[in-house]
């Protein structure tokens, strides 16, 4: 089933930081942009600075500008060996300094926000379907996005979108996958997420029709 005509999808990737002089999320999203998400999906790509304050102003402005059906943030994890779907974002525990040597005084994303926000997307189901498609890239699910800029960005996005966001961690390039492999994996994952949102919306419409 195709996504509804002209879905707007926003994908973000991070700039280099620390030991990641070439950020695998940047490479993976470049490859995704080449592949696209099909003729009915407008894909917008943004690079996110590895800075808490930049995220706090950038993420709301992107939602306001594009009103996307779905936002998928992509980040690199030096510990990951699979493409990892994050189920939730967390509000507290941000102690790591960012690229501008800053960390929030409150150590939280949104003061007064819930401790944890889950994505409306069933990540286990996406993982099963993509794995069953024989993509050749291992996909897994995680409940902890790591309390750094990835988690911070995800929570901010989940809060603004009432859960219509996703976060995908990719391993560093060639450990074990190429940029092309990661791009193909992102394409399959995001298409599956869009199909899932479409099915959920159809079900809602059916329930409202008497």
86 counts as catalytic: yes
Is residue 11 within 8 A of residue 43, CB to CB? The reply is yes
Q: DSSP 3-state assignment of 5?
A: coil
201 counts as catalytic: no
51, 127, 150, 192: the active-site residue: 150
Please enumerate in sequence order all residues whose Cβ is within 8 A of that of 165, keeping only pairs 6 or more positions apart, or say none. Answer: 70, 71, 72, 73, 119, 154, 157, 158
Measuring CA to CA, how many Å separate 3 from each of 36, 62, 63, 86?
A: 13, 21, 20, 22
86, 88, 109, 127: the active-site residue: 86
Other beta carbons within 10 Å of 106: 11
Reference 26, options 36, 15, 35, 37; nearest CA is 15
User: Hey, which residues are catalytic here?
Assistant: 86, 150
């Amino acid at each position: 089933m195709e996504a509804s005509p002209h879905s707007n999808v926003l994908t973000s990737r991070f700039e280099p930081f620390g030991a990641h002089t070439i950020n695998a999320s940047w490479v993976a999203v470049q490859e995704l942009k080449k592949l696209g998400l099909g003729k009915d999906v407008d894909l917008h790509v943004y690079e996110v600075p590895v800075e808490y304050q930049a995220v706090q102003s950038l993420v709301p402005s992107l939602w306001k500008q594009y009103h996307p059906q779905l936002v998928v943030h992509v980040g690199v994890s030096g510990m990951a060996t699979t493409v990892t779907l994050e189920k939730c974002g967390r509000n507290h525990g941000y102690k790591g300094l960012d690229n501008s040597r800053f960390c929030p005084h409150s150590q939280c994303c949104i003061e007064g926000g819930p401790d944890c926000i889950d994505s409306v997307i069933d990540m286990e189901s996406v993982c099963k379907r993509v794995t069953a498609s024989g993509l050749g890239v291992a996909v897994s699910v995680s409940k902890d996005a790591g309390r750094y800029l990835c988690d911070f960005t995800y929570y901010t996005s989940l809060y603004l979108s009432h859960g219509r966001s996703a976060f995908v961690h990719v391993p560093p390039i060639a450990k074990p996958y190429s940029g092309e492999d990661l791009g193909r994996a992102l394409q399959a994952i995001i298409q599956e997420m869009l199909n899932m949102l479409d099915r959920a919306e159809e079900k809602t419409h059916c329930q409202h029709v008497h």
